[in-house]
Amino acid sequence: MKILGLLDLNKLKISEKEEVNFENYRIFSYRLSELGADGIYIKGINKDSDLIFINELKNEIDIPIFKENDFEDIIHIEEFLKGKKGTTLIIEEEEILEHFDGRKEFVPIYTALISYKAKKEGFITLIVEDIEAVKASLKFE
């Protein structure tokens, strides 16, 4: 199973200055790589400068980088929990908080449980914010 780290440019925006944001995205991307992500999935691309940054990042980082629309059918948590099948599942913190009790401290546990279930159901790719929770859950057979 491939685990892609989710880099949401809208969520990680911390400044009005693009340079500051790009440096934050870069640091986050390197962290995803260090944690063992098989690639990075970038969403929230709004400007041409975002695309330029992504191309620069592709030259700097040693794992593949994917953009929105690089995958045909991404299943979201709500669809997955209702039984929809597919090959790629995206697990976002906000969706977990919406569908469960809204307590942030349980997000890694829910992420791990959903990841484990997705593996059992034959999903090939997971796109996640919490690489560590997914890696831990996939150790179980």
- pLDDT of the chain, 141 residues: tens digit per residue: 999 999 998 887 777 787 788 888 999 999 999 999 999 999 999 889 889 999 999 999 999 999 988 998 999 999 999 999 999 999 999 999 988 877 889 999 999 999 999 999 999 999 999 999 999 888 876
Sign of the alpha-carbon dihedral angle for 90, 94, 97, 100: negative
Write the burial class of residue 6 (CB in 10 Å: 0-12 exposed, 13-18 middle, 19+ buried). Answer: buried
Nearest to 45 by CA among 74, 63, 69: 69
* pLDDT attached to residue 141: 62
Write down how long the chain is.
Answer: 141
CB-CB contact of 90 with 72 (8 Å): no
Q: Is the pTM of this model over 0.85?
A: yes
* pLDDT attached to residue 126: 97
* pLDDT attached to residue 22: 86
> Which segments of the chain does DSSP mark as H helices, in order?
18-34, 48-60, 77-81, 93-99, 107-120, 131-137
Residue spans per domain, the chain: 2-67, 74-137
How many angstroms separate the Cα of 69 from the Cα of each of 42, 44, 45, 75? 10, 11, 11, 13
